């Protein structure tokens, strides 16, 4: 073989091998290899195919009750400026089953356009982008709302030697996020969210102004570091092409001072907050009405000029009349709070995140509360069925 031929052959071999490597890499997502990605496509494909077949036999099912939501599901931008009030819920069967959520829907005679799930940051598989559950929510015709909690200390030091030791991570953790220390995780998540492709509301680092509850609160971080971290995360999603993600900025109204945490108009699509009545379960709590919890902050929240989401809405039964609480909250709601465009029930049977004793936010055992709620939702025109008609 002539020298020129040899050189050519060698060059072709080099180019071909580079092409093979790049081809394989491009098959995968940010952190998943090509085989995982292909297998994930296979399983998603099987589930999707089965769903289509089943719906061909049974009729469209739940999705038919949400046909009015289709424009929102097709264009994330319309989700940024909604002209309707969306109901939704989180149920603690999620992400393993949506049956509890559907049971709540039946009891209330509504079909939720929004379904919420929670995921924490970390190395484990369940801390990756929650592909299965958001696909399942989409398959049911709804739009997923994902609350994404930056528990920085869950990452294993062994796997991430560049991070500070676990005990030191939370102090100024958000500055560390803003600096890019956690890009390895954020990028993967953003890539997977972009791959999902359907609209998705993302509520990142909620209640950032609460100094007691979460490590990303002001006890460890300065407000400007929160803002920097938020912007860094949003920018990373945008650079990964995750334009399907709609951003929900979600302070805690009880602690005030949240204006300092505002990341700016261009970085936020919704303003969210919780409205949970803990009744008399704890020394720091008493029976507050919905208007006491939320009403006094409404104007301030509406002032950000974004649609408002009540991301966690509910009352315990301890210390007052639960049915009356819901009734009072919802009567005349639209007129009082026109900027609120989403109410998400916090439907959790065992909530041990706040108190030592598990709290029961579930409604299914209380027919009277359910009846009251059902009536209030219907009379306020919040049951989406009304709108569908």
Partner 1 sequence: MRSEDPELWRWRRAAPVRGRDRLFLAALIGAGLLSTVRFADWWFAPAHVAVAPLYVLLSLAIWYGVSRMVLGWIGLLAIRRPKHRPAPEGLRVAIFTTSSPGEPLAMFEKTLAACARIRYPHTTYLLDDTEDPRFREVAERHGAEWLELVGLPGAKAGKINAALECTDEDFILVLDPDHIPFPGFLDRVLGHFDDPEVGFVQVCQAYHNQARSFTARGAAEQTYAFYGPTQMGLFGHGGTVAIGANCTFRREALDSIGGHGIGLAEDLVTSIRLHAAGWRSVYVPEVVSRGLVPEDIGSFYRQQLKWARGVFEVLFSELPRAFGRLSWRQRLTYLTIGTYYLFGLTTLIYLAIPYLYLWTGVQPASMAFVEFIIVGGPVAALGAAIYLYSQRWLCHPAMERGLHWRGLALKVGSWPVYLAGTVLAVLRAEIAYVPTAKEARRGRFFQLGWPHLALAALYLVTVGWTAYRRLYLAPEGMLFLTSEAVWGMISFASLAVLLVGGAIHAAWEARSLPSEAPWDGVDPDLIGEQSSDPARRTAQRESSTP
CA torsion through residues 63, 64, 66, 69, sign: positive
Sign of the C-alpha dihedral computed for residues 379, 381, 384 and 386 taken in this order: positive
Near partner 1 in 146-205, by CB under 8 A: none
Q: Which neighbouring-strand residues pair with 137?
A: none
Q: Which of 27, 68, 92, 102 binds partner 1 (CB under 8 A)?
A: 102
C-alpha dihedral over 97, 101, 103, 107, to 10 degrees? Answer: 180
The rounded distance, in Å, linking the Cα atoms of 71 and 65 is: 14
Which segment (1-9, 43-51, 278-286, 297-305) binds partner 1 by CB under 8 A?
43-51
Contacts of partner 1 in 274-313 (CB under 8 A): none
Q: Counting Cβ atoms within 10 Å, is residue 216 exposed (0-12), middle (13-18) or buried (19+)?
A: buried
Among 70, 74, 77, 124, binds partner 1 (CB under 8 A): 124
Considering the complex, what minimum distance in angstroms separates the CB of residue 32 from partner 1? Answer: 9
Tell me 126's DSSP state: G
Distance CA 351, CA 140 (A): 26
Per-residue tokens: 262: 């505002």
| Residue among 45 and 332 whose Cβ is closer to partner 1 | 45
| 8 Å CB contact between 255 and 300 | no
Of 33-41, 181-189, 260-268, 304-312, the segment contacting partner 1 by CB under 8 A is: 33-41
Tell me if residue 180 falls in helix, strand or coil.
coil
Give the one residue of 17, 26, 43, 357 binding partner 1; rule: CB under 8 A: 43
Q: Pick the binder of partner 1 from 7, 39, 64, 388 (CB under 8 A).
A: 39
Of residues 128 and 238, the one with the C-beta less far from partner 1: 128
Q: How far is the CB of 103 from partner 1 (least distance, A)?
A: 8
CB of 189 to partner 1, least distance (A): 17
4, 57, 159, 356: which one binds partner 1 (CB under 8 A): 57
**On the CB side of 67, how many CA atoms lie within 13 Å of its CA?**
7
What is the C-alpha to C-alpha distance for residues 348 and 363, in angstroms, rounded to an integer?
9
- Compute the least distance from the CB of residue 94 to partner 1, in Å: 9
Q: Which of 89-97, 200-208, 286-294, 331-339 is the region at the interface with partner 1 (rule: CB under 8 A)?
A: 89-97
The neighbour count for residue 283, using CB atoms within 10 Å, is 6
Q: Please state, in angstroms and as integers, the Cα–Cα distance from residue 335 to each residue in 210, 232, 331, 338, 339, following that order.
A: 29, 37, 9, 6, 9
Binding of partner 1 by 46 (CB under 8 A): yes
In the list 70, 77, 99, 352, the residue contacting partner 1 (rule: CB under 8 A) is: 99
Which position among 27, 28, 31, 62 is part of the footprint of partner 1 (CB under 8 A)? Answer: 62
Nearest to 184 by CA among 157, 160, 158: 160
Interface with partner 1 by CB under 8 A: which range of 31-39, 72-80, 295-303, 354-362? 31-39
Instruction: Please report how close the Cβ of residue 36 comes to partner 1 at its closest, in angstroms.
Output: 6
Q: Is 17 in the site for partner 1 (CB under 8 A)?
A: no
Using DSSP's 3-state secondary structure scheme, residue 204 falls into strand
Give the range of 90-98, 176-184, 247-255, 340-348 binding partner 1 by CB under 8 A. Answer: 90-98
- Cα–Cα distance between 362 and 229 in angstroms, integer? 34
Contacts 24+ apart (CB under 8 A), 300-303: 300/259, 301/253, 301/271, 301/273, 301/339, 302/339
Task: Tell me which of 82, 95, 211, 319 binds partner 1, using CB under 8 A.
Answer: 95
**CA distance linking residue 205 with residue 215, whole number of Å:** 10
Choice between 78 and 97, CB closer to partner 1: 97
| Contact mark string toward partner 1, 125..144, x via CB under 8 A | x------xx-xx--xx----
Options 13, 18, 21, 54; binder of partner 1; rule CB under 8 A: 54
Q: Which is nearer to partner 1, 33 or 71 (CB)?
A: 33
Identify the residue whose tokens are 């009352």.
315
Q: Note the residues at the interface with partner 1 (CB under 8 A).
A: 33, 35-36, 39-40, 43, 46-47, 50-51, 53-54, 57-58, 61-62, 95-102, 124-125, 132-133, 135-136, 139-140
């Amino acid at each position: 073989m002539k020298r020129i031929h040899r050189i050519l052959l060698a060059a072709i071999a080099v180019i071909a091998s580079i092409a093979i490597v790049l081809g394989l890499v491009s098959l995968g997502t940010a952190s998943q290899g090509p085989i995982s990605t292909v297998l994930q496509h296979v399983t998603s494909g099987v589930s999707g195919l089965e769903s289509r077949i089943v719906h061909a036999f049974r009729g469209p099912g739940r999705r038919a009750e949400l046909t009015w939501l289709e424009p929102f599901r097709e264009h994330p931008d319309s989700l940024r400026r909604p002209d309707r009030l969306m109901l939704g819920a989180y149920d603690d069967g999620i992400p393993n089953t949506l049956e509890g959520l559907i049971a709540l829907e039946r009891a209330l005679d509504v079909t939720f356009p929004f379904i919420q799930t929670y995921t924490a940051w970390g190395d484990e598989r369940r801390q990756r982008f929650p592909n299965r559950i958001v696909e399942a929510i989409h398959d049911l015709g709804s739009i997923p709302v994902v609350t994404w909690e930056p528990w920085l200390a869950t990452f294993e030091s062994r796997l991430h030697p560049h991070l500070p030791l676990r005990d030191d991570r939370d102090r100024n953790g958000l500055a560390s996020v803003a600096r890019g220390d956690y890009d390895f995780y954020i990028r993967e998540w953003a890539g997977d969210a972009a791959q999902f492709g359907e609209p998705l509301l993302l509520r990142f680092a909620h209640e950032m102004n609460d100094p007691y509850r979460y490590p990303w609160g002001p006890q460890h971080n300065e407000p400007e570091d929160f803002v920097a971290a938020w912007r860094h995360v949003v920018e990373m999603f945008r650079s990964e092409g995750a334009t399907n993600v709609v951003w929900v900025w979600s302070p805690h109204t009880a602690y005030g001072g949240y204006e300092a945490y505002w990341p700016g108009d261009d970085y936020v699509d919704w303003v969210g907050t919780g409205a949970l009545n803990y009744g008399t379960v704890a020394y720091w709590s008493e029976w507050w009405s919905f208007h006491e919890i939320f009403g006094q902050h409404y104007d301030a929240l509406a002032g950000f000029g974004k649609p408002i989401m009540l991301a966690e809405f509910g009352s315990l039964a301890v210390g007052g009349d639960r049915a009356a609480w819901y009734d009072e909250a919802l009567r005349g709601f639209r007129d009082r709070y026109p900027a609120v465009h989403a109410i998400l029930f916090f439907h959790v049977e065992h909530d041990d995140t706040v108190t030592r004793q598990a709290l029961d936010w579930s409604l299914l055992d209380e027919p009277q509360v359910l009846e009251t709620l059902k009536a209030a939702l219907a009379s306020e025109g919040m049951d989406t069925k009304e709108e569908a008609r």
